[in-house]
Amino acid sequence: MHKTFYIAIMFIVPFLVAVTHLSCKRDITKIEEGGRDYASRDESALNVRILLLDRVKKAELSVDGRYQILGGLSNVVDEGVKLDKANVFIENGWINLGGKRHYNSELRIKDLGGSGIVLDSIPYRGEIRILPQTDKEFSVIEEINIENFVVGVLGCEMPNSWEEDALRSQAVAIRTYVENRRKAKKNEPFHLDKSELAYRGMLGETAKSVKIVQDTAGIVMAYHGEIFSAYFHSTCGGHTEDVNLVFGKEKLPPLSGVKCGYCENSKYYTWSVNIEKSSILQKLQKAKVNVSNIVSVKTVNHGPGEHGSEVEIIAAKGKELMNANRFRLLVGPNNLYSTAFTARNNGKNITFSGKGWGHGVGLCQYGVQGMAKKGFNWREILGHYYPKSELRRIY
Ligand SMILES: [Zn+2]
């Protein structure tokens, strides 16, 4: 979501696991202990599986410290004090790692020294699993403790310099989102695709992000005891949006949309961009949307945040109605910032004027920072953006 922050984070020296315990004030009187289906758990159950690479033909892997390679769950097939850069590829259906062929259906690489496993230049804290998919392709899954994962995502989703209560709110929203996916996909090979959240492994870790996540360790949001999909986005533009309108998902009070009023400082609060008509057409046609010669574009079926649920494209011949979110993702989410826009045909270009950045559902990141600056604490902030939600400590 915030690409510039990745770059900033690249230069932050990683990182310290040994963090002193937090001194922040914490009022747990409003936090319920336990939750449905989460009454007891052991440590090993707190891992989350992230799809890092999907059906690729090659990757590069290294470990700057002690490591172990397992074929399957417990069979050690290799170990050493340092793994130099090694190419990974599939050879006749078997995994080749650094020139050595392994006759295992899966390889698990464990970092025993704590420096992380570097996969295609990004260091990861969890265990890396290589899974052949075809005779030539493989996928890579990271299995990592959920709290460590929240630390990594927090550092990429929100600037480290922001208010601590803004960061705590974001951490709880991330943990809630991840727990929801963990439960929904508990029997699947992975819980989350890396692209669902901003995540760059250990590059997102800082001393502050570790401390912030510890402040709220194990705390999630629920509605009537159920951990929900706590969506978040950069800037709502004044009012957050109803999940039913944006994603077509079942209505839920915490995701029904609220007046924000705290994100005016975002440079995406209002915006205007010119996008070449030919570029839009090309992207739509590539996705098999049957349009040519666009005359006008407008959003329809607006929610309280003025995001359209659909886009009507009038072409020289006929018109096309499509899901607004899909239209935005096809045109480019970093060009067309939101679906709360009006459009004007300028001949060669279409000028989109709109507000907000992102889908508009759930927590508004710039709004959270605005509330924290005004002195609201993280529990109040979450209560505002996810109305009627409850806080629960599940482990
Ligand atoms: Zn907002």
**64-106 residue pLDDT tens:** 999 999 997 779 999 999 999 999 999 988 999 999 999 988 9
36 in a domain, yes or no?
yes
Nearest to 176 by CA among 231, 130, 125: 231
- Choose one of 136, 168, 191: the last residue of a domain: 136
Q: How far is the CA of 134 from the centre of ligand 1 (A)?
A: 45
SS3 at position 350 = strand
Cα–ligand 1 centroid distance for 362 (angstroms): 10
- Name the percent of the chain in helix, strand, coil, to the closest 5: 25, 35, 40
Range of the domain at 119: 58-136
Q: What is the CA(130)–ligand 1 centre distance, in A? A: 40
Give ion ligand 1 contacts, CB < 5 A. Answer: 236, 260, 263, 364, 367
Asked if residue 51 is part of any domain, the answer here is no
CA torsion sign, 169 to 172 to 178 to 179? negative
Residues ≥6 apart with Cβ < 8 Å to 340? 237, 299, 302, 305, 306, 307, 308, 354, 355, 356, 360
Residue 16 sits in the same domain as residue 88:
no
104-134: per-residue pLDDT in tens?
A: 889 999 999 999 999 999 999 999 999 999 9
pLDDT tens-digit map of 14-62: 332 222 222 233 333 367 765 544 433 444 579 999 999 999 999 999 9
Say how many Å lie between the CA of residue 183 and the centre of ligand 1.
Answer: 29
Residue 243 within a domain: yes
Domains: count for the chain: 3
Q: How far is the centre of ligand 1, averaged over its atoms, from the C-alpha of 4 (Å)?
A: 20
Task: Let me know whether 259 and 198 are in one domain.
Answer: no
Domain stop point among 74, 104, 136: 136
What is the pLDDT at residue 38?
45
Q: Where are the alpha helices (DSSP H) in the chain?
A: 3-10, 146-157, 164-184, 207-215, 243-247, 277-286, 324-331, 365-373, 378-385
Residues 220 and 192 grouped into a single domain: yes
pLDDT in tens, 175-206: 999 999 999 999 999 999 999 999 999 999 99
pLDDT on residue 92? 87
Domain boundary, last residue among 81, 116, 136: 136
Residue 49 counted as domain residue = no
How many angstroms does the Cα of residue 239 sit away from the middle of ligand 1?
Answer: 6
Ligand 1 centroid from CA 246, angstroms: 16
- For residue 23, give the 3-state DSSP assignment: coil
